[in-house]
Amino acid sequence: MAAQKVKLGIIGLGRWARVLTRAAKTSDQLEIVSGFTRTPEKRDAFTKETGIACAASQEAFLADPAIKGVILTVPNEMHLPVAEAVAKAGKHVYTEKPIADTLENGLRIEALEKKYNVRVMVGHSARLLKGTRLIKQAIDAGELGRVVFMEANFSNERALELDPSQWRWYRDRAPGGPLSQLAVHQFDSLHYLGGEITEVSSIASKLSPVGAEVDDQSMTTLRFASGALGYVGASWTSPGIYSIRVFGQKGLMHYEIDFGTWDTPSKLHEPSLLYIQRGKDGYGKREVIKLPPGDMFRDELELFASACATGKLPELTARDGNVAVAVVNAALRSIDRKGQAVTLDEVMGEARRKLA
């Protein structure tokens, strides 16, 4: 007999809720059965588009015993209060990245797991991209030898289109511009591929002609506990790209996707590229690896459904989410210090002291 689908709810019914709902409908492991947002018109529109019924209040939504876990696609500053309400109701929490608007609030969300005996998952879906998973498999199998360096880039043209009506225009809403909005994906992916990050250095610049408050260019270097080094670049004034390259002492791998297919991940493998280059004379013998189809959004929702069913979450944890935010905070502090290196221990320690 087929296993019963895990029933989930979703709070926050904007564009991203629709992306995740589409992904959920392709899964045989989970079902989104209820939604909620404060605006009745948005609830009605969501139900009309998706066929998913909405509760008239958050209290009624959370009182539904069928719902085992709740997906949050609310604004960043609402992650903590909504996550706390969900956890208090005894339901597992999935929150979109970043885990919270501040590292302190991220740590508060992480603490909900112990307080209410629930799992908290953070939607850093980029680490679930098929090319990234294949690179990790190659690393773990020893195909690349000792990993010594990694580089990644996530860029698009967002800052060429900003105006003051958009929240990304403002420094306090989108600190560092592409640093907090794009590079954070790569910080999590490189944390997954390379292990613990210990130190961060960063510089930034503002080159868009629109005059927004935020920086729109970001370059960040990382030091890993293993001794490996890394680099993450993010531009907000260029054509879109997403790429990761991992260098080992026996080989390297390069992965690149077309950012234009991000919202339709089932097609993402078609224009993407993954290759491996082995040995010192391997440039002319690069092996292109065929990428299988996949859906990172469905994959992350199924991981969450599994956590709801078993109480176990092997990755995309609250801690993983807080590491990504800590790297962003360390990079912002490094920018303020003209590129001086900042340790994650400094940033994490300061945030924990504020909570003491």
Smallest Cα–Cα separation from 343: which of 327, 332, 354? 327
Q: Identify the band that residue 268 occupies on the pLDDT scale cut at 50, 70 and 90.
A: confident
Q: What is the mean pLDDT of residues 143-149?
A: 97
Q: Identify the band that residue 169 occupies on the pLDDT scale cut at 50, 70 and 90.
A: very high
Q: What is the pLDDT of residue 190?
A: 98
CA end-to-end span of the chain, whole Å?
A: 50
**Cα–Cα distance for residue pair 191/194, rounded to 1 Å:** 5
**Cα–Cα distance for residue pair 118/62, rounded to 1 Å:** 14
Q: What is the pLDDT of residue 10?
A: 98
Q: What is the pLDDT of residue 261?
A: 74
Decide if 45 contacts 73 (C-beta within 8 A).
Answer: no
pLDDT in tens, 78-137: 999 999 999 999 999 999 999 999 999 999 999 999 999 999 999 999 999 999 999 999
Q: What is the pLDDT of residue 1?
A: 41
Kindly state the tokens that stand for 222: 């990382």
**Cα–Cα distance for residue pair 212/121, rounded to 1 Å:** 33
pTM for the structure as a whole: 0.94
| Summary mean pLDDT of the chain | 95
Q: What is the pLDDT of residue 227?
A: 98
Q: Identify the band that residue 259 occupies on the pLDDT scale cut at 50, 70 and 90.
A: confident
Decide if 12 contacts 74 (C-beta within 8 A).
Answer: yes
Helical (H) or strand (E) element with 198? strand 197-205
Which domains are assigned to the chain? Answer: 6-123 (3.40.50.720), 127-295 (3.30.360.10)
Q: What is the pLDDT of residue 249?
A: 96
